[in-house]
Amino acid sequence: MELNRRTVIAGAAAAGIAATTLGGTAHATGGSKPVKTLFGRLADGTKVHLWSLENGGTRLKVLSYGGIVQSLEIPDRRGRYANVSAGFDNLEDYVAQSPYFGALIGRYGNRIGQGRFTLDGKSYQLSVNDGEQSLHGGAQGFDKRVWDVEPFVKGSDVGLHLYYTSVDGEMGYPGTLKTKVTYTLTRHGDWRIDYEATTDKATVVNLTSHVYWNLAGEGSGTIEDHELRIAASRYTPTDAGLIPTGELAEVAGTPFDFRKAKPIGRDIRVSHPQLVTAKGFDHNWVLDKGITARPEHVATLRDPSSGRTLRIATNEPGLQFYSGNFLDGTLTGPTGRTYRQGDALCLETQHFPDSPNKPRFPSTVLRPGQFYRTTTVHTFGR
């Protein structure tokens, strides 16, 4: 029953190197314990900390608020570093106006139609925060919670354990959900995310990460020249509310065919009804591999100008590709540059949107005694 929730995750690789001086090139110095600094305070006085990690040539900065990736730096083909994740340099903007920049998403990644679902004969009404839909867990999802953070060094890996307990009824979801998310930087500079959860009552769970990528560097302009490959022969078309219709449509002969790498901008303005409705790409791809016991490579993103590449491996069955359609120039990043439409993109590993209302989709139900475990690995190259 629900084999996807009993996956045994392979351990991370051992031994490592780290990057040093900001703005320089990578140096092999070995991983060190993450460093904590104060980033700001919420209106009620709660402290929010920034955790800084380095390993294998990758530099990661994470907030205790929302588990947010505030910065992720990797080198280009010449060894020059850039932050490739969109975000802010202050807590106030994350609280007031963030479109989920870098955040952990829960309890349910993406949309649930009308914010309603039925489980074991009982109907549940969720927080509605996207028109008539519930998006990314509701108005106060995991992205707006302060997580308990525990740093670690294990062999040559460095990382953070993040903990949050979502009480029964929070945002309308049944069951008290105990969640643990682990961010690991490996010796090779891979960024690995391990998600774990248990519940005391039957519920639905779909956790993911909402990093906005621009491999040319945050604030550098459009991602339409980035080349993307997704190992998926089908996708889930949506209605006017961006809720999947239930169809598993073939990508062949459509702008949604990324089985061979192509520039994102090649087909983004094609007059296809699905692109018109979403103002670009904002859809779930049905990965050919399905649910797997271990993470498998499913997508590659490449920026020709810098040479930076991102390879994504996951054991999840879906990948949401969002092309930054609703960035409108009103948000300003840490370099003082504004984010406009198409200036960053998201690649969210997940179960499918609205799965609780689509019996044909892989189940997202988690029951007492079961363990939610899923992993995504980001591998960087140049």
Q: Tell me the catalytic residues.
A: 210, 348
Vertex 182: Cα angle to 285 and 319 (nearest 5): 0
Residue keyed to tokens 């460095």: 158
Q: Which of 224, 242, 157 is nearest to 194 (CA)?
A: 157
Structure tokens at 348: 């969210």
Q: 265 phi and psi, to 5 degrees?
A: -75, -10
Residue 235 near residue 247 (C-beta atoms within 8 A)? no
Three-class secondary structure of residue 374 per DSSP: strand
* Residue 317: count of CB within 10 angstroms of its CB: 24
Write the DSSP assignment of 274-321 as a string of letters. Answer: HHHHHTS-EEEEEETT-S-SS-EEEEEEE-TTT--EEEEEESSSEEEE
CB 255 within 8 A of CB 323: no
Strand partners, 148: 163
Tokens read off for 170: 């929070």
